[in-house]
Structure 1
Amino acid sequence: MKINRLPRDDRTNGWSRILEERRPNPALSGQVSADWIVLGGGYAGLAAARRLADLNPHQSIALIDAGTAGENASGRNSGFAIDLPHNVGSSLDELDGSHRFMRLARSAIADLDKAVSTHGIACDWSADGKYHTAVSPRGVEEVLRPFVAELEALGEPYEWVEGNALLRRLGSPHFTAAVYTPGGRLMNPAALTRGLTDSLPENVRVFENSPVIRFENSNGIRLETAEGQLRAPRMIMAANGFAERFGYYPSRFLHLVATASITRPLTEAERAVFGVEKPWGLTPANAFAGITMRYTNDYRIVIRQGLDYCPSQRFPAEQQAVVKARHKHLFDQRFPMLNAVDIEHSWAGFVCLSRNSAPGFGKIADNVWSAVCQNAVGVTKGTFGGTLAADLACGQDNPLIPDMESLGEPSSLPPRPFLDLGVRTRFLWELWRNRHEA
C-alpha cells in the first residue's frame, strides 16, 4: 500500500523553539529487522515502545517516526496531563465511566511521574493542577456549577475561586470564576516528548525523520521509506490521525487544527506588575469560544485559541502572521498591564477526534494493534493507550484493559462533502451560541 499523505514539520513549534537544539536519531537506512515495530513517536508510541521493551527485554523494538521528537502533535499541545474527564454526567452509569477514565488517566500520570523522575527529564513537569474557568455569569451557571456537583458526586477535591482571589491567582480580571482541581500536571510537551524518546530502554532503536511511503502486512510487517525498509512480525500502530493512511479506521476520524502562541519571558519588572506567584494552567468553559492558557515556570504566557476543521491536515504558512496578530489582541484584552509583552512564537497543531469521542484501540489486523485517536487529551490518553496496547499485544493481563475497551470504538462519519458542511456549520453554531465565553 502506498502512503499518499505524509506529516509535515513547518518548524514553528514554540515549545521546541525555546529549547536547546537536539540531535535527532538517524533516519532509517538499508534493510532493518526487529521483533516489533512501533509506528509513531508521540505519547502512545513512546509508551508502547517502553512497555514492549520492559515486557520483552531480549527482543528488539524499532520505533519509527516521520519527524523528530517534540515536533509532532504531541509536542505542540498546551502542556496539560489531565486526570479528570472533560464532561461528567450525573447518572450512575456516567459516574462509573468517569471512575474508569480516572483510573486510566491516573495510571498514565503515575507512569509519567516515574519516567520524569527516574530519567531526570527537564520539561518543567509540575503538579500544579488546573483551573476550569468561566468568563460570564452564564458560563458559571451552565458549566462550572454543574462541574462542581459532578466532582462532589465523584468524591473529587476541588476549590472554587472567584473575585480578587482569582485575580491574584491568574493575574487577569477577565474571568468571573474558576474551579481548581489539583490532580493534573503541567509541562513543556516538546521537552517531555524529547526526554521520553531519549530515555527509552536499550532494546528500543529509534528512527527519526523517516516518513513511511509504503506499507505491507503479508507474512509480517514491512515498512518502506525513501532510504530503507523495516521488517518485523508485529506492529503497534500509534500514528494517530495518519492511521487511516495505512487503511485503518476509514471514515472514522475528524481532523482539526488548533493554533497557539507563546510570549517572550516576562521581565522582573513585568512580573512585579503581574503579581502572580505560581505557574498555572487554565481551560475554558467552552473550547470553541474560550481560550486555553498557561503561565510557565520560565515566566511566559501561552495562549491556545482557534479550533478549525482541517481535513487536509495542512496549515498554510501565510496564516501564521494572522494567528500571531489575533493572539496578541486576545493577550492584551486579558492582560492589559502587560501590553508591551511580545508574542515570540506562533504555531499550529493537528488534533484527531472521533464522532463519539472513542479511541482507536485494540487488535485491528493480523499482527497489528493500535493506540490512536486521543480526542485532544493526548498526554494521558496516549500514554495509557500505548501502554495497554503493548500489554494486549503481549497477552499481558492488566485490569485496566477492560476500562480501556469500555471507552468504545470510533463511530463512522457521513461521507464528504456532507461531513464538511455539517462540521463547519456546527463550528459556527458553537461559536455563536457560546460567544459570551469569548
Structure 2
Amino acid sequence: MTRISSLPADDATCGWYHLSKPRQARPAHQGQTSARWVIVGAGYTGLATARQLALHFPDQEIVLIEAQEVGFGTSGRNAGFVIDLPHDIGAPDYIGDIDTARTVMKLNLSGQNYLKELVERYDIDCQMKHCGKYQAAVEPRGIAVLDAYRSGLDKLGQPYQMIEGAELPEHIGTHFYRKALFTPGTSLIQPAALVKGLADSLPANVTLYENTPVSEVEYGARTVLRHANGSITADKLILTNNAFGMSFGFLKGRMLPVFTYASLTRPMTPVEQARLGGRPYWGVIPADPFGTTVRRTPDNRLLVRNSFSFNPDGRSNPKYLERFVSRHRASFERRFPMLPSVQFEYTWGGALALSRNHAGYFGQLRENVYGALCCNGLGVTRGTATGKLMADWLAGERSELIDFVLNSPGPCANPPAPIVALGVNFNLLWGQYRAGQES
C-alpha cells in the first residue's frame, strides 16, 4: 500500500480561472468502480491521453480522475504560450544537435496542431491567437542570447525577424527593450479556458471525476486507487500528474516542483490602450530564463510573470504570493510607465515539474502502470503531444515520435533532499539576481 503524502493545493486567486467561462464540474467519484483504463491527472497530458484512448477503444470506458477542478490547477496557470520551436538552454545556440532539434520541433508541432484542431472543431472560446511571440532583451547578456538563438534558427531553417529597440513600440507599445527576436509560429491562449473546453468536449466513453484526490494506491496485477468516498480499480493505470507522480511512488528524487508567479491587470480603458499603443495582443518571453514574461491579452489586460520558489511538496504557499506581487509591480512600472493607474486584479502561482537534465519521462513505470511525466515547463504543447502518443503506444502503434520519447533518458537523480533544496533555492535566487533589468 502506498499512501499519497502530497496532494495538489493551489491558491484560489488565478485570474485565468476566474475570467474563463464558468462550467459545471463533473461529480466526484463515489463507491467502487472498475475500469480497463484509469488516468490520474486531467491537465493537458491526461486530457489528450483520455481523448485518444477513447478513439482507439470506443467500446471501453476510460476513467479520468482529477484531484481539483479542471482548469483550477497547473494546466490553467501557465502564461498561455503554445510554442512550436525547440529551445535548448544548455546549448550555445539554444538549438543543439540539429537532428534532435528537428524531432523536438515535430513533437511540439504535433501538440500545437492537435490543440488548434480541437479548438476549431469544438469552438472552444479560449482567445487562441496565432500571432507569434517576441523574445526580448534589455541587457547585453540577453542580447547575446538573442544573437545565439538567431544563429540556431538559421541552422534549423526557421523564420524569424530581429527587431531593434526603436521599432519595438510599434509592436508592443513599451520602449523598455533594446532588441527582440520575433518568431511567427507561436499561438497564444487563455489556458484555463482551453483546458475547460477540452474537458467538456471529451468523447462519450470517457468518464471524468473531479474533486477526487487519491489517498492510497495498492499496486499489483490490477491497481486499486482509494479515496475518501470509495475506490477505483484499474487494469491499466496511466499517471499524467507531473511531479505528483513522486507521491505515487515513481521517479522519487528526480523531479523538482518549482512554482512561478503571475499578476494580471484590470482591463485597460480606451484612453490607456491608446497611451500604450502597439498591437492589440502579443506575448513577450525574456531572453534570460529568469526574466519577466509579459502579455497583452485580447481583452486588453496586461500579464506579468516572474519570480520562482521551490515547493518540494508541490503545494502553493501563500507567503510567496505576498512577497512577489511587489516584484511584479516593479517589473510592470519599468515596462509601462505610461500606465501608472493600471492595477493588478489577480496574482497567483503555478507549478512546473522540472528535472535537472531537462528530460521528461515517457513509458512503463511498473506492471500495468505507465506515465507521461515531467513536462519541464512545456505542458501545453509537450504534454498534449506526449499524452496523445501515450494512447497511441498503448494501442500498439509505433512511430518516430513514440520511439523518440521512449528513448529519452528520463529525469536524472537529484542529490539528497537537504542538498537539493539548498542548491535549487540558491540557483533560483542567483538566477533572478543575474537577470537584472530583464526581471
Measured against the shorter chain, the TM-score band is: over 0.9
Q: Distance in 2 between matches of 1:292 and 1:406?
A: 32
1:394 offset after TM fit, Å?
A: 1.9
Is 1:174 aligned to 2:176, yes or no? yes
Q: What is the aligned length?
A: 436
Q: Distance in 1 between matches of 2:294 and 2:96?
A: 32
- Distance change >3 Å, CA 19–CA 421, structure 1 → 2: same
Structure 2 counterpart SS, 1:233: strand
Q: Distance in 1 between matches of 2:429 and 2:119?
A: 40
Say which is worse superposed, 390-399 or 119-128, in terms of deviation: 390-399
| Deviation per residue, 1:277-300 (Å, 9 max, x gap) | 231111101122x10111101001
**Matched-pair contact (CA < 8 Å) for 1:236–1:390:** no
Structure 1 counterpart SS, 2:213: coil
Q: Distance in 2 between matches of 1:434 and 1:375?
A: 20
1:92 offset after TM fit, Å?
A: 9.8
Q: Distance in 1 between matches of 2:218 and 2:323?
A: 41
Taking the TM superposition and a 5 Å limit, the aligned residue runs for 1:74-93 are 74-87=75-88
Question: Which residue in the other structure is 2:102 paired with?
Answer: 99
Question: Which residue in the other structure is 2:161 paired with?
Answer: 159
Q: Distance in 1 between matches of 2:424 and 2:350?
A: 19
- Distance change >3 Å, CA 318–CA 355, structure 1 → 2: closer
Q: Distance in 2 between matches of 1:63 and 1:407?
A: 26
- Distance change >3 Å, CA 15–CA 103, structure 1 → 2: same
1:82 offset after TM fit, Å?
A: 1.0
Match for 1:276 among 278, 287, 291?
278
Unaligned runs of 5+ in 1: none
Structure 2 counterpart SS, 1:50: helix
Question: Which residue in the other structure is 1:194 paired with?
Answer: 196
Question: Which residue in the other structure is 2:122 paired with?
Answer: 119
- Distance change >3 Å, CA 427–CA 92, structure 1 → 2: closer
Match for 1:213 among 212, 215, 221?
215
**Matched-pair contact (CA < 8 Å) for 2:362–2:371:** yes
Q: Distance in 2 between matches of 1:64 and 1:115?
A: 21
Say which is worse superposed, 364-373 or 202-211, in terms of deviation: 364-373
Taking the TM superposition and a 5 Å limit, the aligned residue runs for 1:404-419 are 404-419=405-420
| Deviation per residue, 1:135-170 (Å, 9 max, x gap) | 123321x20001101101100000111123211111
Question: Which residue in the other structure is 2:111 paired with?
Answer: 108
Match for 2:253 among 251, 266, 287?
251
**Matched-pair contact (CA < 8 Å) for 2:21–2:193:** no
| Deviation per residue, 1:296-340 (Å, 9 max, x gap) | 010011111101222132333244333333212221111011111
The AA in structure 1 aligned to 2:275 is: V
Query: TM-score, normalized by length of structure 1?
Result: 0.96
Q: Distance in 2 between matches of 1:406 and 1:280?
A: 36
- Distance change >3 Å, CA 188–CA 67, structure 1 → 2: same
**Matched-pair contact (CA < 8 Å) for 2:86–2:95:** no
RMSD of aligned C-alpha atoms? 1.6
1:5 offset after TM fit, Å?
A: 1.1
Q: Distance in 2 between matches of 1:153 and 1:334?
A: 33
Q: Distance in 1 between matches of 2:14 and 2:115?
A: 22
Q: Distance in 1 between matches of 2:109 and 2:262?
A: 26
Question: Which residue in the other structure is 2:146 paired with?
Answer: 144
1:29 offset after TM fit, Å?
A: 0.5
**Matched-pair contact (CA < 8 Å) for 1:90–1:153:** no
Query: TM-score, normalized by length of structure 2?
Result: 0.96
Q: Which runs of 4+ in 1 moved over 6 A?
A: none
1:406 offset after TM fit, Å?
A: 4.2
Question: Which residue in the other structure is 1:15 paired with?
Answer: 16
Question: Which residue in the other structure is 2:344 paired with?
Answer: 343
Q: Distance in 2 between matches of 1:373 and 1:248?
A: 12
Structure 2 counterpart SS, 1:104: helix
The AA in structure 2 aligned to 1:198 is: D
Taking the TM superposition and a 5 Å limit, the aligned residue runs for 1:345-384 are 345-384=346-385
Q: Distance in 1 between matches of 2:93 and 2:319?
A: 45
Taking the TM superposition and a 5 Å limit, the aligned residue runs for 1:294-305 are 294-305=295-306
Taking the TM superposition and a 5 Å limit, the aligned residue runs for 1:223-238 are 223-238=225-240
1:90 offset after TM fit, Å?
A: 5.5
The AA in structure 2 aligned to 1:128 is: C
Q: Distance in 2 between matches of 1:319 and 1:101?
A: 34
Q: Distance in 2 between matches of 1:324 and 1:437?
A: 17
Structure 2 counterpart SS, 1:196: helix
**Matched-pair contact (CA < 8 Å) for 2:133–2:182:** yes
Q: Distance in 2 between matches of 1:430 and 1:191?
A: 32
- Distance change >3 Å, CA 12–CA 92, structure 1 → 2: closer
Q: Distance in 2 between matches of 1:128 and 1:220?
A: 46
Q: Distance in 1 between matches of 2:263 and 2:82?
A: 19
Q: Distance in 2 between matches of 1:147 and 1:332?
A: 28
The AA in structure 2 aligned to 1:422 is: G
Q: Distance in 2 between matches of 1:91 and 1:5?
A: 35
- Distance change >3 Å, CA 182–CA 342, structure 1 → 2: same
Q: Distance in 2 between matches of 1:48 and 1:436?
A: 41
Question: Which residue in the other structure is 2:397 paired with?
Answer: 396
The AA in structure 1 aligned to 2:109 is: R
Identity of aligned residues (%): 40
